[in-house]
Amino acid sequence: MERTLSLVLTHAWFDLMVTGEKSVEYRDVGGRYHRQLMRRDYQWVKFYRGYAGDPVRRWFTCRLVGWEVVDGLDESFPNGLSVRGRKVAIRLGAPCERFPLP
């Protein structure tokens, strides 16, 4: 059975991912998701936009291509968000399943 890692994103980060402007998800080194990646062999990542209280909870699924710890990260995005420092980089394939997106 293939394993899926579930991650929640805020609306701004979700929108960057679903449009393809961002194809790598960054998480803190040593945090919950880093520990999960070290313990299990995931094949998929399912991203949720916001938490379950949202009236229409959007999501999409991507193939997990690989992950690594990156030092000295300094990446900025068109919407003004940025990622800096030491992070776990989760590399993703193109979104393959979505609901409900325009």
Check which CATH number belongs to the domain holding 16 and give it.
2.30.130
Using a 10 angstrom Cβ sphere, with 0-12 exposed, 13-18 middle and 19 or more buried, the burial of residue 73 is middle
Amino acid identity of residue 33, one-letter, is Y
pLDDT, position 100: 66
If one counts every other C-beta atom within 10 angstroms of the C-beta of residue 51, the result is: 9
Residue 85, phi-psi category: left (phi > 0), alpha (psi -120 to 50), beta (remainder): left
Kindly list the averaged pLDDT for each block of 10 residues, start to end, along the chain of length 102. 88 90 94 91 92 78 95 95 96 80 54
Q: How many domains, in total, are found in the chain?
A: 1
Give the residue numbers spanning the domain of 23.
4-99
Cα separation, 6 vs 89, whole angstroms: 15
